[in-house]
């Protein structure tokens, strides 16, 4: 028993769940959702506590995990319900280990560990966007976008990007962690244009339930998003809605993408001597990373400062845009068995082109500024 690693135990647990475990809460769907949570937890144990063996696991490690979840909730990366769900999945796995004789007791059931989790009704911030604040910020970014017609394509694209971002946050029920990339969660890589359906007015996201959900995109969010898409002109639907402008991150992604396509190091270097990372990403349709949740917060902070919008010394955060809304009014489970729910790529393209003629302006240059721009 001493030789059983956390990862080995997790793998066995997920295999059992995939075929249906009479002692557990489900089968394939549960295994898929729990797998991502448990593997990240195992990675966290090894990285933060140098713990690999299952029998070395103690209540202190679970207290530390609870504190980590609580900290990420305060930072706006998770909702309280998400943090508690993650902990519950780990606790269920450890209960299974006890039943199977791999552990004597479940260290996740320690009362003081559970008390460290964010309360069920707790929010990362009490802040919410008031109608006046929303109108002020949205009016500011809208005017900036309208005034950008005579600017360079790069500047115009940046302003339309900011307008679309604010409009989606202000008028939809999409969470920041669903829209932007969360570096600590490999499943949350940021929404792409393939997730947006202008025909049905929805965006497909990975919800806090760890399942795909279709969220309504009202017209006030769709229109700025359409106009932004026309100027962005993504070469593929796998392109993120809000790609990073951090040149080194784009270059790393492009180099990896070219290597996967069989180009050797010398050939890749030759291409970088002739073109920028952004140009190569577009030429080879290699989607860059999306901006992170932290990057999006930095953008909102800058916009609030430029708009002279003071929020008690703070700025409007992505989480505050959703405060007080009822998820059930905006969300439904996404399923591929509903052919009428999602429009085809052709229909999406038609919906976009209705607003604008596709721009033939020059490609944007790579911007070496930090990702938050």
Helices (H), the chain: 6-19, 28-49, 59-74, 80-99, 111-115, 131-146, 153-171, 176-179, 219-232, 247-260, 265-274, 277-283, 293-306, 327-330, 345-353
Q: Kindly list the structural domains of the chain, giving each domain's residue range(s) and its CATH number in brackets, ordered by start.
A: 6-115 (1.10.150), 131-246+289-353 (1.10.443)
* Whether the predicted pLDDT of 311 surpasses 70: yes
Most confident of 29-43, 92-106, 159-173, 180-194: 159-173
* Whether the predicted pLDDT of 165 surpasses 60: yes
Query: Tokens 């909702």 appear where?
Result: 79
> pLDDT value at position 329?
55
pLDDT band of residue 323 (cuts 50, 70, 90) is low
Comparison of pLDDT for 334 and 230, the residue scoring more: 230
pLDDT band of residue 18 (cuts 50, 70, 90) is low
Comparison of pLDDT for 123 and 244, the residue scoring more: 244
Comparison of pLDDT for 169 and 92, the residue scoring more: 169
Ramachandran area for residue 276 (φ above 0: left; ψ -120 to 50: alpha; else beta):
beta
Q: How many of the other CB atoms lie within 10 Å of CB of 235?
A: 14
pLDDT digits (tens, 9 = 90+) for 122-138: 444 456 788 888 888 89
Residue 326: both structure tokens together: 């009822």
pLDDT digits (tens, 9 = 90+) for 329-363: 556 666 543 444 454 433 343 333 333 333 323 33
What is the greatest pairwise CA distance in the chain?
70
Taking each helix axis as running N to C, give the angle between helix 219-232 and helix 345-353, from 0 to 180 degrees, rounded to the nearest 10.
90
> pLDDT value at position 331?
63
pLDDT band of residue 85 (cuts 50, 70, 90) is confident
Q: How many residues does the chain have?
A: 373
> pLDDT value at position 114?
75
β-sheet bridge partners, residue 202: 197, 216
Segment among 25-29, 209-213, 237-241, 263-267 with least mean pLDDT: 25-29
> pLDDT value at position 32?
65
Rounded-to-integer distance, Cα 46 and Cα 92, Å? 20
> What does 295-349 look like in DSSP terms, one character per residue?
HHHHHHHHHHHHTT--BTTB---GGGGGTT--HHHHEEE--TT-TTTS--HHHHH
* Whether the predicted pLDDT of 141 surpasses 80: yes
| Mean pLDDT within 181-210 | 89
Rounded-to-integer distance, Cα 255 and Cα 25, Å? 43
Q: Phi and psi dihedrals of 240, rounded to 5?
A: -65, 150
> pLDDT value at position 77?
80
> pLDDT value at position 209?
74
> pLDDT value at position 45?
93
> pLDDT value at position 314?
77
> pLDDT value at position 80?
82
> pLDDT value at position 95?
86
* Whether the predicted pLDDT of 10 surpasses 70: yes
* Whether the predicted pLDDT of 196 surpasses 60: yes
b vs e for 207-223, b when ≥16 Cβ sit within 10 Å of the residue's Cβ? bbebeebbbbbeeebbb
> pLDDT value at position 273?
94
Most confident of 132-146, 176-190, 277-291, 300-314: 277-291
Question: Average pLDDT, whole number, for the chain?
Answer: 80
* Whether the predicted pLDDT of 214 surpasses 80: yes
């Amino acid at each position: 028993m001493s030789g059983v690693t956390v990862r080995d135990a997790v793998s066995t647990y997920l295999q059992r769940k995939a075929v249906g475990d009479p002692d557990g809460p489900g089968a394939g769907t549960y295994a898929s959702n729990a797998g991502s949570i448990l593997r990240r937890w195992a990675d966290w144990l090894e990285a933060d506590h140098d713990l690999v063996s299952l029998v070395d696991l103690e209540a202190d490690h679970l207290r530390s995990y609870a504190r980590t979840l609580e900290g990420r909730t305060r930072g706006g990366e998770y909702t309280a319900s998400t943090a508690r769900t993650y902990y519950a999945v780990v606790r269920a796995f450890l209960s299974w280990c006890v039943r199977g004789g791999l552990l004597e007791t479940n260290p996740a059931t320690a009362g003081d560990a559970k008390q460290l989790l964010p309360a069920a009704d707790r929010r990362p911030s009490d802040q919410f966007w008031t109608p006046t604040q929303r109108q002020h910020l949205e009016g500011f970014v809208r005017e900036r976008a309208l005034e950008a017609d005579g600017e360079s394509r790069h500047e115009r694209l940046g302003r339309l990007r900011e307008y679309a971002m604010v409009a989606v946050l202000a008028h939809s029920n999409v969470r920041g962690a669903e829209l932007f990339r969360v570096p600590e969660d490999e499943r949350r890589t940021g929404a792409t244009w393939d997730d947006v359906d202008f025909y049905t007015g929805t965006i497909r996201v990975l919800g806090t339930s760890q399942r795909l959900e279709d969220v309504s995109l009202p017209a006030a969010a769709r229109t700025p998003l359409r106009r932004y898409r026309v100027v962005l002109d993504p070469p593929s639907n796998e392109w993120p809605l809000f790609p990073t402008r951090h040149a080194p991150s784009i270059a790393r992604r492009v180099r990896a993408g070219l290597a996967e396509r069989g180009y050797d190091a010398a050939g890749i270097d030759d291409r970088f001597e002739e073109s920028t990372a952004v140009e190569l990403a577009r030429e080879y349709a290699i989607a860059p990373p999306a901006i992170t949740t932290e990057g999006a917060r930095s953008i909102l902070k800058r916009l609030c400062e430029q708009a002279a919008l003071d929020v008690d010394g703070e700025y409007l955060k992505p989480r505050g845009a959703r405060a007080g809304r009822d998820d059930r009014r905006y969300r439904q489970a996404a399923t591929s068995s509903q052919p009428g729910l999602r429009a085809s790529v052709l229909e999406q393209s038609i919906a976009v082109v209705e607003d604008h003629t596709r721009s033939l302006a020059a490609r944007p240059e790579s911007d070496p500024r930090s990702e938050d721009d």
